Chains A and B, each alone.
Chain A
Amino acid sequence: MTRVALRHRLAERGIDRQLWLLVPGLACVLALFVYPFAYGIGLSFQPAQGGVFGAYREFFTDAYQRDTIATTLGLSLPAAILNVAASVPIAYRMRGRFRGKRLLTTILVVPITLGTVLTAEGLLNYLGPAGWFNRFLMAVGLLDEPVRLTNNYWGVFFSLVITGFPFAFLLILSYLSGIDPTLERAAATLGAGWWQRFRRITLPLLAPGLATTFCLTFVLAFSVFPSAVLVGDPAGTTRVISIAAYHAAYEAYDYPLGSAIAVVMGVVELFVVAVVLGLRSLLYTGSTGGKG
């Protein structure tokens, strides 16, 4: 009798046997994500020497390690901002229907699937001293000497733009087509010019989508690893934090330090995401009236 009553009471609060369907998924996430993360955090507090915070102290007192944070942010923030900022006007112009839109979006999906390794290989060939890009600029007469664009900051930056821009563009295009076009037409009826319509109607409605897009693009750019090694200068100007973490864990076999760097990396990344999402929560977050 009481067992049935308990089951009823639980069911009223939304707990019944159907929730068992959630268990395999939760178990996987707990075993493969939460537990390793907790294990890594625990490991980062148990360095071979230097006490509880030894690994963190080692990271923050060594300028070669500490500067990787600035290097990573110096690459990923400008790349994410450029990707989002360039996507907005282009997507704004393309939000209507026109011939070849599907083809264009298909072409733009290609770089996302190429992945960073192939992009790196392509950039080495294309932007290298004897590559087509320099060859073209010299043939036109803009340059006398090939400009160095690979194995430095710019190579990595371009690879982030090539993989990140289509991603940001497709997201923003879908957010823009979710905004009800009648709102803008109403504004046009009241005599608003295109800048006023964009500034006062579209941009405020788009702002939450912009924040989300920025976060996702930033996460992509922040975790740059293969291209920083292949087209970058992994010992110098593009020694990003993921390289530092990888070196510590897999080349120096200092797992506590590797875990500590991974934790620092996660904290920095979540901090930027939290700031952007915090700014977003100050803005309008309601229905945008279009498809949903």
Chain B
Amino acid sequence: MTLVSEKTAARPIVASPAAWLVWGAVAFFLINLAGVIGSVVVNSVGRRWFDTWLPEGWTTQWYASAWTEFGLLDVLLVTLEVAVLVVGISVLVGVPASYVLARRSFPGRRLVYLLFLLPILMPPITYGIPLATVLYKYGFAGHLAGVVLANLVPSIPFVILTMTPFIEQIDPTMEKAARMCGARTGQIFGRILAPLLVPGILAASILVLVRTVGMFELTFLTAGPDSQTLVVALYYSMSAAGIRAQQSVDAMAVLYTASMLVLLVVALRFVNPTQLVARVKEEPD
């Protein structure tokens, strides 16, 4: 990855009207974004907030009530279980597949590639409804297993897409040398590829983690009462508005955002978003 090192043209010191327009648009977007997030945060710590700029007083009671009312400990544990299981399985299944797709050419390779791309290209609701129907038929849906299985559908292709460029970066002569020295495929994976692929696997797992925690539709369609993840519990508490205090719903939303932000900050330590996309774009040949 080489960055564009030179500036394309000498920039005038005083910004042109076009530059003002562009930066103004960005600033407008960011201000509104801050407003959207900020109003949730402020509301979650406000005592009463009706027709004023800021709430009348501050309190943390909504967090306590959200914690007990929504059973957040259970919800968080379920979210964690689902996320860890989905990440683990999709990495175990996806990495070998992406190795074959990145390195080998074989009859039907394009078809296989298309099969792996389709779940990412389709809206989750489209395949989620038939998938949930099938999972209910076999008794998986409504439990943790159903949620995990449903979330695997977009996650495995996502791991494959993310891992392909990382695998392409590894020099194939290294594997050939190992094979010359008598290593078997299993040993090549364990001793050569796995250590070299650790950064890629980390990046893929964190991205899948973020996606799984944020995935609403599939979890919503397959979750039962005791297998809701945080985002689905949030949706239910919002759509049943009026029963709960708005502020405790907001407190829950803040907890959700905070956990997503922590994940995001961790993810960005390993992945540069613009570079990742630039790598991914080359693959659908």
Contact = CB atoms under 8 A, between A and B. Distances in A.
- A, B in one complex: yes
Interface of A: 13-15, 17-19, 21-22, 24-26, 28-30, 32-37, 39-41, 43, 86, 89-90, 93, 95-97, 102, 104-107, 109-111, 113-123, 125-126, 130-133, 135, 162, 165, 170-171, 173-175, 177-178, 181, 184-185, 188, 194, 209, 212, 215, 219, 222-223, 225-226, 229-230, 242, 245-246, 249-250, 255, 258-259, 262-263, 265-266, 269-270, 273, 290-292
Contacts of B84: none
B130 A181 contact: no
A17 B250 CA distance: 54
B198 interface: no
Among B39, B43, B217, max chain A CB count under 10 A is at B39
A178 B278 contact: yes
Among B99, B124, B278, max chain A CB count under 10 A is at B278
B115 to A, nearest CB: 5
B277 A170 contact: yes
A104 B94 CA distance: 32
B93 A96 contact: no
A167 to B, nearest CB: 10
Given A177-B4, A223-B126, A245-B129, A111 B277 contact: no
A146 B214 CA distance: 32
A115 B107 contact: no
B122 A269 contact: yes
Given A96-B4, A290-B4, A121 B253 contact: yes
Nearest to A30: B115
A162 B149 contact: no
B278 A175 contact: yes
Nearest to A221: B123
Contact of A133 (B35, B149, B274): B35
Contacts of B135: 36
Contacts of B19: 93
Interface in B1-50: 1-9, 18-19, 21-22, 25-26, 29-30, 32-33, 35-40, 43, 50
Contacts of B202: none
Contacts of A26: 97, 112, 115
A225 B125 CA distance: 8
